[in-house]
Amino acid sequence: MEERKLRAIITGGSRGIGKAILVELAKRNCISVMFSDVAVEGDDFNAHAKKIEDEIGNGTKVYGFKADASKFDEAEATIAEAVEKMGGVDIMINNAGITRDNLLMRMTEADFDLVININLKSVFNYTKAAMRPMMKQRYGKIVNIASVVGLMGNAGQANYSASKAGVIGFTKTMARELSSRNINVNAIAPGFIETDMTSKLNDNQKEALLTNVPLKRMGQPEDIAKAVAFLCSSDADYITGQVLTVDGGMVM
């Protein structure tokens, strides 16, 4: 356990990888955590937050906030709410993301723009909003969720690959800009993880994908969460501007 009790925000944190990250941080070193998302089951963010809080069951306070991560004013509102409810922000996890896959020949401009706005512009929005309280307190951990396709590309994912490659470039630049204020900025590049996105694949598609994974299995959201928790801990105080691939050896 960390001596310092931290306060974290996770975009897209109501389910999947985002929720796994929220739960892992709450169990390790956070006294309070907040997820932002565009929607939750039943559209009751307080009830959803209380449900997660009860699941964790260790006294960590969980807050939910409805926000579109692609809109800067809503990112600012999230940070303001976090400062009011939690007293500050120590950890910012930029996790919100979607896919709209298609070959470029068939990809619409709307689908390209949507993926860029949610996957990449959201990282700008929340980093810019969260860095102000972090700079004032001279402490912060920012972890951006990228993807292995941002490193290697993938046919049918020009929009997604571009957005995640952008996240990686943004991460390295922010690490340089914020280091003097004791703010670490890193990225995680997940491989094939069992989530709602990958659940749409049939068995043949999954088998084909796993031929490129030396460990011969898909990862779990908890695999990503544990890596994020490490980068948010004091054990990673001398790590910044890095991209940690969590992919079963897919990209070496």
Which candidate, 112, 98, 88, 86, places its Cα nearest to that of 37?
98
Q: Which two tokens stand for residue 201?
A: 């694949």
Considering the candidates 63, 139, 160, 238, report the single residue annotated as catalytic. Answer: 160
Q: Tell me if residue 160 is catalytic.
A: yes
Q: Give CA torsion, residues 241, 36, 64, 228, to 10 deg.
A: -30
CB atoms within 10 A of CB 9: 29
Cα 144 to Cα 96: distance, rounded to the nearest angstrom: 9
Locate tokens 């079963």: which residue? 248
Which candidate, 176, 114, 173, 166, places its Cα nearest to that of 145?
166
Residues designated as active site: 160
